[in-house]
Amino acid sequence: MGLRPISGKYFGDMATYNLYFEHYGSGQSIIVTKDIFFHYFMKYSSRIMPASLFFLLCSIIYIYPLYLISKKWFKEYWYYSFLFFVCSFSFWAYGTNGIRNGIAGSIFLLGISRDKRIWQVIWIFLAINFHKSMLLPALGFLIVQFYNNPRYYIIFWLICIPLSLISGGFWENLFSNIGFDDDRLSYLTQGNINDDDFSSIGFRWDFLLYSGTAIFAGYYYIILKKYKDKIYYWLFNTYVIANAFWILIIRANFSNRFAYLSWFMIALIIAYPMLKAELFDRQHIKLSNMLILYFLFTFIMNVFLLN
């Protein structure tokens, strides 16, 4: 992933990042006011390394936290969690295209995995300044510190589906006009200017089904299996809040970019309880089968349907 060719044709935003890198490498100043940490990281990297090494470094920063998280929470079973991350539907796209977002998501999860609150705050703050969109899961994480009952969050998620179905473009227009200073919100109302099926507009039942797998997993573990774990509740409820926002604006152009604000947590939502507690007979066999199915969804979506 890190040593891939520098290409905008095959790797989307990679060409734009390369233009920024060349701009900073020529000695120019920072030209943006948002996602500022990423741009300073890019600027200082451009002084000491070529672009090819910079993208390798980005891949390391994207992937290494996933390893650290897996080791921290699951000890000798870390490789299950890490494989779930790698097999995720969005893993490749956000390591090669939405690079800032991918790095920010990994840093955000690293923050949640820290034991001390001060380190949680520092890492999440860093994630937000790598990609401002991390404000949404950060807000969700803040909310669940005060109310952490998964049952009502699941009900809220279910209510958002008919709200989105019957409201047309109401929610897209609402969120794009409430004053956030972020040009990503223009995706909510602009047309699909690129020939990009993955970014097509409309109510995405396929994406909703994918999102629903994590909701069902959380429901099954928490409600039916009576699994109790404060950290898992944090992860699951944060996911539900972020995903519910995406459901409301699901018709937006490039809605996958908003969906990723919850999707980067799906691997943990599915795997976490089975790596922390004995919930089934022959549990490792069941977990391995789940991993195969999880990969098959990614394979079918990326190789057959999207291409």
Which pLDDT score, from 0 to 100, does residue 10 have?
86
Any residues with CB less than 8 A from the CB of 268 and at least 6 apart, and which? 69, 81, 84, 109, 235
Report residue 198's pLDDT band, with 50, 70 and 90 as the boundaries. very low
pTM of the predicted structure, to 2 decimals: 0.89
Each residue's pLDDT tens digit, 68-109? 999 999 999 999 999 999 999 889 999 998 899 999 999 999
Cα 209 to Cα 91, 107, 304, distances in angstroms: 18, 26, 17
Indicate whether 176 pLDDT > 80: no
Which range has the worst mean pLDDT, 14-23, 165-174, 187-196? 187-196
Kind and range of the H or E run holding 43: helix 36-48
Extract the tokens encoding 294: 């999880």
Report residue 221's pLDDT band, with 50, 70 and 90 as the boundaries. very high
Q: How far apart are CA 282 and CA 211, in angstroms?
A: 27
The one-letter amino acid at 98 = G
Is residue 236 within 8 A of residue 222, CB to CB? The reply is yes
Q: How far apart are CA 298 and CA 91, in angstroms?
A: 9
Kind and range of the H or E run holding 105: helix 99-112
Indicate whether 199 pLDDT > 80: no
Which pLDDT score, from 0 to 100, does residue 216 have?
95
DSSP per-residue letters across 179-193: ----GGGGGGTS---
